[in-house]
Copies of this chain bind each other. A is one copy, B any other.
Amino acid sequence: MEAAFSRSKSQNQDRLDLSRKGSVDEDIRSVVSLLNGCEQFFTTSSCSGRIIVIDGAACSGDVHKQDCVWLLVSHQKCSSEDVMCALSRSSRDAVLKFEPFVLHVRCRRLEDAQLVHSAAVNSGFRNSGITVGRTGKIISAVRSTHGLEVPLSHEGRLLVDDDYVRFLTQTANQKMEENLRRIQRFYQNLQSALSAERLAVPDAPSEPRSGRTAGRGASEQNPRSRQREAEGFHGDLDLDDCLDLFT
């Protein structure tokens, strides 16, 4: 089982990034490098958090993003002008969403997944959970309850005024700031948990010296130094893409 995990990890390191963006988001490179520097973890998909405006058919189910036109995608705070400009191109039903940080970490053992899960929940990511697939793949998913989903146009017609769009953009930006604070807490909580684990088990096979040095060096001194390795098996997939791996 552990040999299979190591094989999967190295295979993922060689894989191309198939995400729309094609790289790890700037704000989570330290977290991603810290985890990928530990031999008991590798990350399979992530998004630091984003404000999006998508234009699709009104439906009673989920908006299927592949059927939508993406009018705006911002991984940083944005202005109400950005949102208004996006809405001016709506021809169907436009929805603004704030989607918080999401991260999927493949873990070697259940205890490893629990370490990530505790750090995530203690950092405010309360929708986090562990998924164990039929083939025994263990994934710790870091998720937040901290979203926003607001219908703004119907059949291309704007449903709200400029003042509302300004207020909504400010609200989305505040959520983006809080999301970043939680990511920083998660990074610190992960570091503490990994250090405590090393103290408890000096020769812990779950995290060899080389992995620690690489992971911490990468994140504390040069966040980009392990970027290529990280991008090699990273994505910005939708949650259903991720869960397809295990069900």
- 24 interchain pairs, CB-CB under 8 A: A59-B174, A62-B124, A110-B132, A113-B132, A117-B131, A117-B132, A118-B134, A118-B247, A121-B243, A126-B243, A127-B127, A127-B143, A129-B129, A129-B130, A129-B143, A130-B130, A130-B132, A145-B239, A147-B147, A149-B150, A150-B150, A151-B167, A159-B164, A160-B160
A114 in the interface (beta carbon within 8 A): yes
Is A92 in the interface zone, CB < 8 Å from B?
no
User: Hey, what's the 0/1 contact readout for A173-201 against B, CB within 8 Å counting as 1?
Assistant: 01101100000000000000000000000
User: Cβ of A58: which chain B residues have Cβ within 8 Å of it?
Assistant: 171
Copies of the protein in its oligomer:
2
A44 beta carbon closer than 8 Å to chain B: no
Bound CA span A175–B122, Å: 31
User: Roughly how many angstroms separate A128 CA and B239 CA in the complex, as a whole number?
Assistant: 10
Chain B residues closer than 8 Å to A148, beta-carbon distance: 149
Task: Collect the chain B residues with CB atoms within 8 Å of residue A160's CB.
Answer: 159-160, 164
In the assembled complex, how far is the CB of residue A171 from the closest CB belonging to chain B, in whole angstroms? 6
A66 contacts partner chain B, Cβ-Cβ < 8 Å: no
Given contacts A132-B110, A145-B62, contact A239 B127 (CB under 8 A): yes
A210 at the interface (CB under 8 A from B): no
Q: Is A163 an interface residue (CB 8 A)?
A: yes
- How many interface residues does A have (CB within 8 Å)? 46
A83 contacts the other chain (Cβ, under 8 Å)? no
A93's nearest neighbour on chain B, judged by CB, is B171
Evaluate contact between A131 and B129: CB separation under 8 angstroms.
Answer: yes
Chain A positions within 8 Å of B, measured between CB atoms, are 58-62, 110, 113-114, 117-118, 121-122, 124, 126-132, 134, 141, 143, 145-151, 154, 159-160, 163-164, 167-168, 171, 174-175, 177-178, 239-240, 243, 247
Given A126-B240, A132-B110, A243-B126, CB of A159 within 8 Å of CB of B167: yes
| Distance to closest chain B CB from A117 (angstroms) | 7
A149 to chain B: closest CB distance in Å? 5
B131 touches A130 (CB 8 A): yes
